[in-house]
Each structure stands twice: as C-alpha cells, then as structure tokens.
Chain A
C-alpha cells in the first residue's frame, strides 16, 4: 500500500483527483439543495451551448466527410460500399461524435472557464464574492455545470447529425454510393441505443470539462502567468481525461448497450 504513495506524481494525481471530486460534490450538493441561479444558467447555456455550435458543426461535417471517404476507399475494394453508411453512423454515434465534441468543447469552453475564473481569482474578484457572502461554487461553478450538462448531449447530437449529413452527401454525391442503399443500411444497423450511448458519453465529458476547468480556475495563483498555466492545464487534463475515460465508458456501456446486434 505504501508503494504508490511514495511516488510524488501518484500523490499529486490523487490530490488533484480528490480536489476535482470534492468540487463536483459541492456543486451537486448545491444543485440538489436548489441553490441554482437560473438566470446565470441560461446565460451559460447561450455562452457554452449556443456559442459552441459553429465549432461542433464544422468538426462534425469534416469528420463525417473524411471518415466516409476513407471507409469507402477501403470497403469499395472489397465491393462492400453499401456498408459505408452503417459503419460511419455507428462509429460517429458510439465514439467519434462524443469524443470530438468533448475535445472541441474542452478546448473552447474548458479553456474559457479556467481563464475567466482564474483571472477572477488573481484579481481578488473571488474573494470579493466571498466577502459579499456569495459562495463562489454556487455563483460560478453551479451555473456552468448545469449549462454543460444540458448543452453537451445536445451538442453531441448536433455533431453527429451534421457528420451524418456530410457523410451522406460525400458518399452519394461524390463517391457515387447508391443513396437508397446508404440510407437503408444506415437506418437498419443504427439503433437508438447507439444514440443513447452518445448522449451518456456527452454528459460524462461535460462533467469532466466543467469540473476540471473550474478547479483549475479556482486554484489559480501567480497572476497572468498562473492564468495562462491554468488554462493550458485545463485543456490538456480534460482532453486526456476524456480520451482515457472514453475507453472505460465504451467497455462499460457496451455491456448495457451491446454493439453490432444485426451484423
């Protein structure tokens, strides 16, 4: 038992994880106690959800397009071009849609959260909130957390929709896949459980982005340099965590929502 704790990195990781979990616990306690400022939640939904749409749509369109092209090049050689639709669709729903949305939102929103809260920390604005008897977790973290939990599954859905639309266009208009085959097979092999999995992953990634971003912001020190460091760390930590957690989510969720039932 003593061995892992002797590593400074292991200890630092455990400490950091503990801080993020404590922050999440405090935020959820506030949410379930009704300490939610709905006006701020709406503002954050506009900022996070509405404001991230362009990034997510463009990511979806080009990922769907390039993925379709690559699958087509491989499958067409085996005379299986009609399988392009379902493969692209399932891959996007189960993996690419949520992961890419998570990474893009981590870059855009996680960084913004960390920078904004970090700047507030180093300019004593967080202390000013506390001095005015306003809990910073209630005021800063809870609205962002609620907004992320609402926005992320919708952004994931949006990303998948635009990716599949781009996939359909590339497959049928550029690569000459029969549109009836494409749609028919895509519809037949894609299940609602694939979409549910995407939404669950989106929700989990939202929690990672918001709590890592806010934790980084709230623990910022050393002025402008500290804000820069926190912002970078927020993006790096949340992106890597998304990629790692995604594997375990896939393995776990595959038990509940098994893939490939009709293949």
Chain B
C-alpha cells in the first residue's frame, strides 16, 4: 500500500501525506508522510537547512504545499484560503524560532493579544489568564517589559505563554532551544514536558538538539533529503543501527581533517 493510500488512524491529530515543496527551484520536501498522534510530543530531527521548519510552517498553513495532503483532526487544510485557515489556526499554537513577539507591545499585551483578538473584553479574566500563562512559563513579574528588553530565553518563554493562552490542542515548536545556553534550554525542555502533562497538548518540536530530544520526545522522526527517513519511538531511535541515524545521534560528519 502506498503512503497516499495509507488509512488515517483515529488517534492522529495531524496526518501528512506526500507533502512536496520547492523553494527557489530547490526541492525541499519530496513527499513527506507523517502521522502525529494526539497528546504526544513528536520531535522532528534533521540537519540545518533540511526543510524541518518549512515542514512545520505547512502544518499551520503559513506555507502552501506544492502538492500533497495535510489533515488536522481529519480536516484537509492544504487547499484552504487564508481566511478559511483561521478556525484551524485557533486550534494550534506556534512558537517561532526567535519568539516573534510584537515589539510594539509589552509582554502583557503580547500574551493577552490572542484573547483580545478572539473577542474577550473582560479585563479581569484577561489579567487572570495572562498571569496563569506567565506562571506556567515561570515568567512572573515581567509583564510590563518590552520584548527588546528580554533575554533570548525569556523571549521564547513569553512567546510560549502567548501560544498557550488560548489553550490550543497542539503546539508547534520551531527550534525551541536554538541559541540558548544549556541551563535555559533545560528550562524550555521542562516547560514543554510540563505543558504536555498539564494541558495534554500535542506537540511537534523541530530541532537538531539531541539532548532536548532525549528529554521531551515520545516519538521521533528524522527528515533527510526531503523525506522521512525514520519514524519511531525514542527507544527505537537509539536502538537503530542505521548509519544515518547513528551519525546524527553521535554528531559524526565523516569529513576528513
């Protein structure tokens, strides 16, 4: 049975079939097939520039595939128009690589933004929810700061608070630990774990950080040359004898000095 004919599982939040994308004439995704089960943390590994972030952006409709299918809770989103994607996007939160906080707003306004945009006018409720989100990401007392005055780790945590405030079913993380020191990276990893256990969200984490992967992953996939090279549990990843996987895990380039 071909991947396109694969029967969708009942337990999957996201199902991707034969996803193809070309950027500047270069084929980035060459038929990606991937199922992301509900309530699990799926880590997508791959080399830098290998199309991981491009893949992630397709899951929330920020990029349109050249061909293929993306189903979120059974709903096909690949052919939807920008405005038709809005209900789908309300189910999904996304943490961008640099946070992408709105730099004209304070941390509080950034985090309250999704609530206000969805019509919430009760200021007490907004304050309460923002405080809860900030507490979840351990960023209390920073509400009045502007994003430019936050460190890289704090910006990511504030962006995560913004992504989770409207309680999405799924959170997409684009390189959540990139550029952070090991201690802050560990804080972010624990946060991803805590969010999964407390809010029962499905997480898709794009990274090439193996420490982070070992900490947070329920399932791991490896994207190589535009296709899913490996898809399995963390245990299966470490048990694999495939040289591509072992090289990636151990960080071997095979270049001669």
Which residues from chain A sit less than 8 Å from chain B, CB to CB? 116, 119-120, 123-125, 127-128, 130-135
Q: A125-B100, A131-B60, A132-B117 are in contact. List 5 more A-B contacts (CB 8 A).
A: A123-B100, A125-B102, A128-B100, A131-B89, A131-B92
A118 nearest CB across to chain B (Å) = 13
B230 at the interface (CB under 8 A from A): no
B173 nearest CB across to chain A (Å) = 12
Identify which of A116, A130, A132, A135 contacts B113 (C-beta below 8 A).
A132
What's the Cα separation between A120 and B100 when bound, in Å? 9
B117 and A134 form a contact (CB under 8 A): yes
B102: nearest chain-A partner, CB-CB: A125
Contact partners of B118 in chain A: CB under 8 A: 133
B111 nearest CB across to chain A (Å) = 11
Contact partners of B57 in chain A: CB under 8 A: 127
B39 at the interface (CB under 8 A from A): no
What's the Cα separation between A128 and B105 when bound, in Å? 14
What's the Cα separation between A128 and B114 when bound, in Å? 11
A133 and B117 form a contact (CB under 8 A): yes
Contact partners of A134 in chain B: CB under 8 A: 117
A124 and B113 form a contact (CB under 8 A): no
Contact partners of B92 in chain A: CB under 8 A: 131
What's the Cα separation between A125 and B103 when bound, in Å? 9
B94 at the interface (CB under 8 A from A): yes
Identify which of B86, B103, B104 contacts A133 (C-beta below 8 A).
B86
What's the Cα separation between A131 and B174 when bound, in Å? 13
What's the Cα separation between A123 and B102 when bound, in Å? 9
B96: nearest chain-A partner, CB-CB: A124
Q: Which 4 pairs from chain A and chain B are nearest by CB?
A: A128-B100, A124-B100, A133-B89, A133-B86
A133 with B90: in contact, given A127-B62, A127-B96, A128-B96 (CB under 8 Å)?
yes
Contact partners of A135 in chain B: CB under 8 A: 82-83, 86
Q: Mark B50-64, 1 if CB is under 8 A from A, else 0.
A: 000000010011100
Contact partners of A132 in chain B: CB under 8 A: 89, 113-114, 117, 162
CB under 8 Å from chain A, chain B span 119-135: none
A138: nearest chain-B partner, CB-CB: B83
Contact partners of B167 in chain A: CB under 8 A: none
Contact partners of B104 in chain A: CB under 8 A: 116
What's the Cα separation between A120 and B93 when bound, in Å? 19
B165: nearest chain-A partner, CB-CB: A132
Contact partners of A123 in chain B: CB under 8 A: 98, 100, 103
Residue of A116, A125, A127, A128 most packed against chain B (CB within 10 A): A128
A248 nearest CB across to chain B (Å) = 33
Identify which of B61, B82, B98 contacts A124 (C-beta below 8 A).
B98
A8 nearest CB across to chain B (Å) = 19
**A-B CB contact pairs (8 Å), 23 listed:** A116-B104, A120-B102, A123-B98, A123-B100, A124-B97, A125-B103, A127-B96, A130-B61, A130-B82, A131-B60, A131-B62, A131-B89, A131-B93, A131-B94, A131-B96, A132-B113, A133-B85, A133-B90, A133-B114, A133-B117, A133-B118, A134-B117, A135-B83
A130 with B103: in contact, given A123-B98, A135-B83, A135-B86 (CB under 8 Å)?
no
B205 nearest CB across to chain A (Å) = 16
A20 nearest CB across to chain B (Å) = 18
